[in-house]
Amino acid sequence: SGFKKSIGRAGTSIKQKVGSVEASNDPDFNEQEERFKILEKKAERLYKESDGYLASVETMTESQRKLAENMTALMDGGQSAHSYQSAYRHAAEYIDEKVRADFESAYRQTVIESISRYCSYIPEFNKGITQRKHRLQDFDKIKAQWKKAYEKQNIEPQIFEKVDSDATYAEQVYNNINTALIREIPKLINARIDVLDPSFEAFIKSQHDFFGQSSEQMDRVQTYLPPRTNDDDRALDNSIRDILERVRGLSICSLSA
């Protein structure tokens, strides 16, 4: 059963650590496994960051819309309501509801899904690596038994034939998966170029479209703003400071002084 095999492999692992069972080593596989582990870390980080970027864009446009709504609400009833305030609120709503939605759809389809599909193959290779480890432990165990039987005097021929047959089968099973991994891991690594190049191009295009459409909305708001010079900005700053000083001078504000 699977449980008995797990116990047996655990015992083989302990014997290998103490040196009573020789542990096989394949430098070619070790090299490919190291490359795979590096790829795995980078791919997982890429998927996490690409998904996080989408969440950041959503947070940004939602925060912009809420800011516009709250600023407009605060100005309700004021004596100096301007058309650009309403224009900005409508632009922020359009960006959050329409521009971002278009960006999210394109981004998910051309970037997230492509990266996700590529990353979905990584667990399958991890399963293969685990299976190889188990098959290698089985092979090392039967190989030790074969060596012991070979060195034993007066062993019955049928017993040695059984051990020899088991060793040949275990070696074949191990070699099959070991060879497959050595051959397939480089293909997985090289495939990243074919997947990520189009995804990166799609990311740039979708980002360009998103910021381009957002900029168009802000340009329309700009038309409602009166032309300003540096002197106008300085005058505005002075005016704001004067008003805040007057607010500070209100009797209620002096209670906490």
What single-letter amino acid sits at 22? E
The answer to whether the beta carbons of residues 203 and 111 sit under 8 Å apart is yes
Question: What angle is formed at CA 43 by the lines to CA 132 and CA 135, rounded to 5 degrees?
Answer: 5
Counting beta carbons within 10 angstroms of the beta carbon of residue 72, is it exposed (0 to 12), middle (13 to 18) or buried (19 or more)? Answer: middle
Q: Rounded mean pLDDT of 82-102?
A: 90
Q: What is the pLDDT of residue 131?
A: 93
The answer to whether the beta carbons of residues 221 and 91 sit under 8 Å apart is yes
Question: At 153, which CATH number?
Answer: 1.20.1270.60
pLDDT confidence tier of residue 122, bands split at 50, 70 and 90: very high
What single-letter amino acid sits at 18? V
Tell me the pTM.
0.72
C-alpha atoms less than 13 angstroms from C-alpha of 149 in its C-beta half-sphere: 19
Q: What is the pLDDT of residue 223?
A: 86
pLDDT at 236 over 80: no
Q: What is the pLDDT of residue 3?
A: 43
Same domain, 214 and 243: no
Domain that holds residue 33: 2-226
In sequence order, which residues have a C-beta less than 8 Å from that of residue 185 and are 6 or more positions away?
A: 32, 33, 35, 36, 125
Same domain, 90 and 163: yes
Same domain, 16 and 80: yes
Same domain, 158 and 245: no
Same domain, 214 and 237: no
Same domain, 209 and 251: no
Q: Rounded mean pLDDT of 30-34?
A: 95
Q: Which of 44-48, 103-107, 144-148 has the lowest mean pLDDT?
A: 144-148
Query: What CA–CA distance (Å, rounded) separates 124 from 102?
Result: 33
Same domain, 48 and 160: yes
The domain tally of the chain equals 2
Query: What CA–CA distance (Å, rounded) separates 133 from 139?
Result: 10
Q: Which of 117-121, 181-185, 243-247 has the lowest mean pLDDT?
A: 243-247
Q: Rounded mean pLDDT of 45-74?
A: 92
Same domain, 18 and 67: yes
